[in-house]
Amino acid sequence: MLMMSNKFGKIIFVVTEDWFFCSHFLDRAIAAHKKGYEVAVITRAQKQKNKIASHGLKLIPLNWSRRGMNIFRELKTIFQLAKIYRKERPDIVHHVAMKPIFYGSIAGLISRVPFIINAPVGMGYIFVSKQLKAIIFRPFVLLAYRLLLNPVNSRVIFENSDDLKMLVDKNIVRQKNSVLIRGAGVNLTEFAPTPEPESAPVVILATRMLWDKGVGEFIDAAKQIKKKGIKCRIILVGGADPENPASISETTLLGWHSSGIVEWWGHREDMANVFAGSHIVVLPSYREGLPKVLLEAASCGRPLIATDVAGCREIVKHDKNGLLVPARDPKALADAMLKLIENLELRKKMGAYGRRYVESDFSLDLVVKKTLGLYEQLLRVK
């Protein structure tokens, strides 16, 4: 196998959605491009396509179906990927999330890509949902992970230590091929600490509007708090995601908004401003990779409330920078929200700790350095 020595190689990122690539991987791709790598992105080209291309990255459109399971369409996608790999001849393909990992790994093996990096970024709907469909598919997904997550000449990037340990313990991933890179990193300048607004406490849940993000429990907790007559604003920030099986309908979201239980602001691009206008940031998810919203909120000096599950507990240290509560427990969530709503000094103390924690462990510079270091390690002459 020909290895790279005195020149940089070619990297292809493979991600289903262009917005997710821009949110979580664009900074790393730009850094690789500036370093000297040739960088391409295979994704569904929608609203972010011009943004990707504007940074000198080659955009290769591919119309993924995240929800559908038409066997002929899925096989077509695998062969399309293999065709692209043979044409582009990348040194490394960096697959992000489940479908790109499964389909991309098969395509990479067919087309003999030298190195594969697979990044699960959380275990997703199949592993957290209690719906019959998810329960039925779960063993098949685990089998697919066993066969395709860690092929020869591959590395697996995990965002949290829980997922890494689980898949190593199940002998799905080899320990020596496992890499921990904790999240997407935070721009410490963009997400800077600001004083709390001088207003009634504002509690926000910022995420895609999915049931498995704990939105239902957040609504129940909001009802409990409103019944007590507590003066505060409780807000949902984020859009619906119709292609996700756990998506909450716009009708339901608008119903909650019109009833006064919560405010629903929809999708927002200016998250630093959203955090600056808040007092407490909540994410009662059932499972995560490492939630960017909590990293950014902590960087802004806001106290956090999250569930004690994989991913969330990677950033939330109980009684240090926030509070951890059991998953699927609206009463515990409401109690935690009330505790912080009623305690200004505790919020300040937790917010300050959270900022220091992000600076030391979760900065964008650190994540970029670790990712580029992995690329260099793979392409180094042995």
- Reported as a single tens digit per residue, the pLDDT across 80-100 is 999 999 999 999 999 999 999
The CA–CA distances, whole Å, from 122 to 66, 163, 166, 285, 310 equal: 15, 7, 12, 12, 8
Name the band, by pLDDT with cuts 50, 70 and 90, for residue 128. Answer: low
Say yes or no: 292 and 348 in one domain: yes
Asked if residue 255 has pLDDT above 70, the reply is: yes
In a domain, 167, yes or no: yes
pTM value? 0.91
Give the model's pLDDT for residue 124. Answer: 62
Residue 182 near residue 159 (C-beta atoms within 8 A): yes
In a domain, 85, yes or no: yes
Say yes or no: 320 and 367 in one domain: no
Say yes or no: 290 and 244 in one domain: yes
Say yes or no: 206 and 355 in one domain: yes
In a domain, 5, yes or no: no
Distance, CA of 242 to CA of 234 (rounded, Å): 24
Say yes or no: 61 and 166 in one domain: yes
Cα 124–chain centre separation: 10
Asked if residue 313 has pLDDT above 60, the reply is: yes
Say yes or no: 287 and 327 in one domain: yes
Name the band, by pLDDT with cuts 50, 70 and 90, for residue 180. Answer: very high
Say yes or no: 367 and 346 in one domain: no
Asked if residue 126 has pLDDT above 80, the reply is: no
Distance, CA of 220 to CA of 333 (rounded, Å): 9
Residue 284 near residue 322 (C-beta atoms within 8 A): no
Strand order from edge to edge, sheet including 233-237: 263-264, 233-237, 202-206, 280-283, 304-307, 322-325
Asked if residue 1 has pLDDT above 50, the reply is: no
Name the band, by pLDDT with cuts 50, 70 and 90, for residue 14. Answer: very high
Asked if residue 279 has pLDDT above 60, the reply is: yes
Asked if residue 4 has pLDDT above 70, the reply is: no
CATH number at residue 301: 3.40.50.2000
In a domain, 194, yes or no: no
Say yes or no: 170 and 69 in one domain: yes
pLDDT > 70 fraction of the chain, expressed in percent and rounded: 94
Residue 263 near residue 203 (C-beta atoms within 8 A): no
Say yes or no: 375 and 355 in one domain: no
| Distant-in-sequence, close-in-space partners of 343: CB < 8 Å, separation ≥ 6 | none
Say yes or no: 181 and 323 in one domain: no
In a domain, 74, yes or no: yes
Say yes or no: 178 and 32 in one domain: yes
The CA–CA distances, whole Å, from 54 to 8, 30, 102, 269, 340 equal: 21, 10, 29, 18, 43
Give the model's pLDDT for residue 6. Answer: 39
Structural domain boundaries, residue 143: 10-185+363-379
Asked if residue 5 has pLDDT above 70, the reply is: no
In a domain, 267, yes or no: yes
Give the model's pLDDT for residue 245. Answer: 84
In a domain, 196, yes or no: no
Give the model's pLDDT for residue 137. Answer: 74
> Could you give the number of structural domains in the chain?
2
Please state the φ and ψ torsions of residue 236, each to the nearest 5 degrees: -100, 130
Say yes or no: 343 and 369 in one domain: no
